[in-house]
Amino acid sequence: MTNLVQMVILEDTSNDNASVIILNDDWLNKSESPIKCMPITLKLNEYVIYPNRTAFVPSLNKTFEEPFYKLIDDHMSICLPSKFKDPQEKERSMAWTVLFYISAICEGVSMVFLLIHLLVFAVVKDLQNSPGCNLASLCFSLFLSYLSMAIWHGGTLSENKITCTVLGLFIQFSHLATFLWMFVMGFDVFRSIRNATKNLRTSCNAFSIKRYLCNSSICWGISLVFTAASLITDNIKGMDETYQPRLSLLCWLQPKYPYWLFFGGPVFTLIFLNFMLFGITAYILFANRMKIGVDDSWTQQKTKFLLYLRLTLILGVPWIIEVLAFFLDDKVWLWYVTYILTSNHGIFIFVAFTCRPKTMKQFKSRLLRIHS
- pLDDT tens readout for residues 186-198: 898 888 888 777 7
Is the full-model pTM beyond 0.85?
no
Residues 169 and 249 in one domain: yes
Residue 334 in domain: yes
Instruction: Kindly indicate the confidence band of residue 339, based on its pLDDT and cuts at 50, 70 and 90.
Output: confident
Residues 148 and 278 in one domain: yes
Residue 304 in domain: yes
Residues 164 and 261 in one domain: yes
State the CATH number of the domain containing residue 248: 1.20.1070.10
Residues 47 and 158 in one domain: no
Predicted local distance difference test score (pLDDT) of residue 108: 94
Separation CA 245–CA 252 (nearest Å): 8
Instruction: Kindly indicate the confidence band of residue 13, based on its pLDDT and cuts at 50, 70 and 90.
Output: very low
Separation CA 277–CA 272 (nearest Å): 9
pLDDT of 291 > 70? The answer is no
- Asked which of 60, 78, 96 is the last residue of a domain, the reply is 78
pLDDT of 29 > 70? The answer is no
Residues 151 and 65 in one domain: no
129 and 192 Cβ atoms separated by less than 8 Å: no
Residue 61 in domain: yes
Predicted local distance difference test score (pLDDT) of residue 227: 98
* Ramachandran quadrant class, 200 (left: phi over 0; alpha: psi -120 to 50; beta: rest): left
Task: Give the mean model confidence (pLDDT) for residues 108-135.
Answer: 94
Residue 12 in domain: no
pLDDT of 159 > 90? The answer is no
Separation CA 170–CA 116 (nearest Å): 23
Residues 198 and 157 in one domain: yes
Instruction: Kindly indicate the confidence band of residue 95, based on its pLDDT and cuts at 50, 70 and 90.
Output: confident
Residues 44 and 113 in one domain: no
Residue 34 in domain: no
Would you give the distance in Å from CA 313 to the centre of its chain?
Answer: 16
Phi, psi at 116, each rounded to 5°: -65, -45
Residues 348 and 291 in one domain: yes
Residues 294 and 355 in one domain: yes
Query: Which residue type does 319 have?
Result: W
Residue 184 in domain: yes
What would the pLDDT profile of 37-76 be if each residue is shown by its tens digit? 556 778 777 887 876 777 888 777 777 776 677 777 777 8
Residues 144 and 55 in one domain: no
Residues 56 and 189 in one domain: no
Residue 346 in domain: yes
Beta pairing class for 55-57 and 62-64: antiparallel
Domain range for 222 is 87-371
Would you give the distance in Å from CA 213 to the centre of its chain?
Answer: 25
Residue 20 in domain: no
pLDDT of 33 > 60? The answer is no
pLDDT of 110 > 70? The answer is yes
Residues 72 and 192 in one domain: no
Total domain count, the chain: 2
